[in-house]
Homo-oligomer: A and B are copies of this chain.
């Protein structure tokens, strides 16, 4: 990327803002942002963008367009923005589900532009530019799901941007991605929400310790973002919940029957899984 490479971040919230900060710190071209005026003002103050621009300025100036809105908006933008994208522009995104997004953008994107689906896997249980932090992407996986409208060059650019933000690019098919995140991201959200809601129905909250707090941290996530994810990955999430319910029933039965081997076996499986996840997360 040359120093006059322009990245337009469409939606400067927690994810877009953190990537903007990280890219500006890495000195990767110029970062411009599109959002509501109050958000752009804060994004400027927090060093997430170099300039605030209008939608048409972003379309005219961007070498790369990063769609960083909730999933449903990314999909809705395909029909409205897709045909207006300049030839040569690389479009990428940060959506947590990929099949629906890649399908919509490949359908509507203007000739000569390329689309590289992506999902930087970082976040917090809160959202908004006020929580953006250049260090959030560091060491995290950055899933890249190129489809038929990706080129080797555009794939290379998105890969380098992921690395410039300190993240670890991981090439994966869009469907395979959606199945994996159903288990590793969407299922934990569902479980944390159900757990916190269950505890809320009792008088036990007064005795909550750090274990309960950790296990339910995701339960503070805003529902709106998750509605989009649930809607665009329903089948895989259903499958993940079923697998979890089966494991839970197995553990419940082992506890109920004082089956020590059964309990140890499930704890061993859980320990092994924990050891395989990346350090420091």
Report how far A105 CA is from B6 CA in the complex, Å: 72
Given the known interface contacts A210-B281, A281-B210, the answer about A187 and B183 at a Cβ–Cβ threshold of 8 Å is: no
Which single residue of chain B is at the shortest CB-CB distance from A222?
B267
Does A189 belong to the interface (CB within 8 Å)? Answer: yes
Stretch with Cβ within 8 A of B (4 or more), from A81-89, A151-159, A250-258: A250-258
CB within 8 Å of B: which of A17-70?
none
Residue of B181, B208, B244, B268 near A223 (CB, 8 A) is B268
Does A196 belong to the interface (CB within 8 Å)? Answer: yes
Q: When the two chains form their complex, are residues A194 and B244 in contact, meaning their CB atoms are under 8 A apart?
A: yes
Which single residue of chain B is at the shortest CB-CB distance from A251?
B194
Report how far A247 CA is from B18 CA in the complex, Å: 34
Which of A197, A205, A238 has the most chain B CB within a 10 Å cutoff?
A197
- How many of chain A's residues have a CB under 8 angstroms from any CB in B? 90
Which single residue of chain B is at the shortest CB-CB distance from A140?
B209
CB within 8 Å of B: which of A150-197?
170, 172, 177, 179-185, 187-197
Residues of B within 8 A of A197 (CB): 247, 251, 266, 269-270, 273
Does A76 belong to the interface (CB within 8 Å)? Answer: no
Residues of B within 8 A of A8 (CB): none
Does A234 belong to the interface (CB within 8 Å)? Answer: yes
Q: When the two chains form their complex, are residues B269 and A209 in contact, meaning their CB atoms are under 8 A apart?
A: no
Residue of B143, B209, B216, B263 near A274 (CB, 8 A) is B216
Which of A201, A217, A231, A248 has the most chain B CB within a 10 Å cutoff?
A248
Q: 7 tightest CB-CB pairs across the interface, nearest first?
A: A200-B273, A223-B267, A196-B270, A180-B204, A219-B270, A197-B269, A188-B215
What are 29 A-B residue pairs whose CB atoms fall within 8 Å in the complex?
Answer: A121-B207, A122-B209, A140-B210, A182-B204, A183-B198, A184-B202, A184-B212, A185-B212, A187-B195, A194-B250, A195-B244, A196-B270, A196-B271, A197-B247, A205-B276, A205-B277, A211-B218, A212-B277, A212-B281, A216-B274, A221-B267, A223-B267, A227-B260, A227-B264, A230-B258, A231-B258, A234-B258, A238-B256, A245-B245
